[in-house]
Structure 1
Amino acid sequence: MTNVYTLKNINNKDNDSFKGVGQRLGGTYEQEFKEKLYSAIKSKAEINDLSEKLVDKYNEREKEFENKASQLNASSTKVRSQLISERKSHSESQHELEVKYTAKIQSLKSRD
């Protein structure tokens, strides 16, 4: 690392130049900084990986939901169609019975 500045160096600037330019952090501090930087980069990579997995899981669940919603809509349409058909059939049967019994009643009345 070249031209590493400490806060003390920055506070002692004079005419836009730094006193002690080129001074390096001590070996221990530099190693600690490198370790913390590596740890931060590693943590960020782990967070990115977990984020990608979470997005993938969300997309997978969204597709499952869409499939189930589509199946539910299809089932609902089928049941609605069957109900309409049964109502129509019942209505027709009821009408036929009414016609039959009305005719029977009329025939009985005409006998009298």
Structure 2
Amino acid sequence: MLRQGASPGARRADGRTALTIAALGNQVKVARLLVGAGADPDPQDTDRNNALLVTAQTGSVAMLREVLRAGPDLTRTNRFGGTALIPAADRGMSSTSARS
């Protein structure tokens, strides 16, 4: 679809982007394509989720690497007022697990 001109930043009615959907489904290859096409990782949906915030919830290190390549705003907060660091820490993620 990207080759046919679809926008990498297209959003559903609830504001959820293709990159956030890929992050929720741990579709790393799809995320890589979207980031390579210029997808913005920061737009938040009506639940205040975005690609980085859901990656912190799912704990996928491979997805985190892809989302970080897009240069996300690390200060965005979820509907509870927390950054991605909070759910990542809650799940036992650390800087060492992100590097492995």
Higher helix share: 1
Q: Which has the higher contact order (CA 8 A, sep 6+)?
A: 2
Instruction: Verify same fold: TM over 0.5.
Output: no
- Flag the structure with larger Rg: 1
User: What is the TM-score normalised by the length of structure 1?
Assistant: 0.18
The TM-score with structure 2 as length reference comes to: 0.20
